[in-house]
Structure 1
Amino acid sequence: MRRTSSPFLLAALVLAALAGFVDAYAFVRLGGFFVSFMSGNTTQGAAALGNGDWNTARIALTLVMGFVAGVMLAAIAARAVAARPMAAVMALATLLLGAAAIGTLASPPIVLPLLAAAMGAINGVFTRNGEVTIGITYFTGNLVRLGQSLAAALMGEGGGWLALRYLLLWLAFVGGAMGGATAEHAIGDQALWYAALASGWMTLLLARQRPAAAQA
């Protein structure tokens, strides 16, 4: 993320807030599972297996598989639409979020895997040479980098601006999560439609950008 341009950094902050919004909605509304935090689902699933709670383990591990599927689909979309890879990935995420919103009306069990796939896809928006340059939902890793950057700044090695960017990403996710929890309480499943609309708006904005890859 060292050479990320300002427009792409702003887009990353918006996507972090969107991911927080969706994650909090899913956690509160759909049974205490995460759709962007796969470390948590892995621990939850493994602990459930150890305790013989097969239903919880099944849900948690299904979410992990849905997330990985979303990452795979994003990589395929980016390659298929090489001229506008970020917009292609955002369009995919928008379709998945829209499908999840529809799923709340027809088939609630499919909602969580669709949301996990959407969050996996969002992580593919900022890539370079097939590698993720800005992890939208990797907040354990982002906090590690924040701590490293702060340590570098304290030792006079620079890194203050980089630390600020990692902090802003974390704060954007926190703000989005607060909004998601509030929206779930106020309007329930309709919150997902707002998430899909926000994702669609980001798709249009990224489609208008000149072909370029976010730099890290």
Structure 2
Amino acid sequence: MRVVIAEDSVLLREGLARLMEVGGIEVVDTVGDAEQLLRSVERDCPDLVVVDVRMPPDHSDEGLRAALMLRRTHPDLAVLMLSQYVEERYAVELLTGQNRGVGYLLKDRVADVAEFLDALRRVVDGGTTLDPEVVAQLLVRRDGSEIERLTPREREVLSLMAEGHSNGGIGQALFLSDGAVSKHIHSIFTKLGLPPNESHNRRVLAILKYLRENGKD
């Protein structure tokens, strides 16, 4: 796995690089702003970019906009966004469109090294991972949506899906059998109006529906 890190804090940038190198991940470049990130991707052809949402010069959404541009120009590039705070609209925007190989984590999550490295590998393998805090806030946003049709257990399952857990991981977290997890997921797809379709990943579509309907202002 080849990674480029885009983070304007030198301490965090170098800390991330060290964590990845200890975990056997090759860091091909570390940069401090969005323009450097775009140049680095063109030059180094990484498998993954880890990008801070807010970067110089304005510290608003420069990192996010650079990531969205890279998703359009390099559709096979995996992207993991880091943020200091929960900002639901960024998660929604990032997942819209090309939605494989993408993640959104809070910076505090880096403290759990094993969990962080697992998230990197999951995203590079084409998965989707969302910070549990993002998911928790989205769960309580709105009433009257399709998500409200789900039972409390189905909402728990969908929440864990959004965090990037496999069926086996969901079963372990909720003490359910593989068969029970599969039944809950089938029910979620049905209630959210997601019939079988070979051209789409229903798991990702369910997460997107969840984000779009619960992440509105």
- Structure with the larger strand share: 2
Q: TM-score, normalised by structure 2?
A: 0.26
Structure scoring higher RCO (CA < 8 A, sep ≥ 6) equals 1
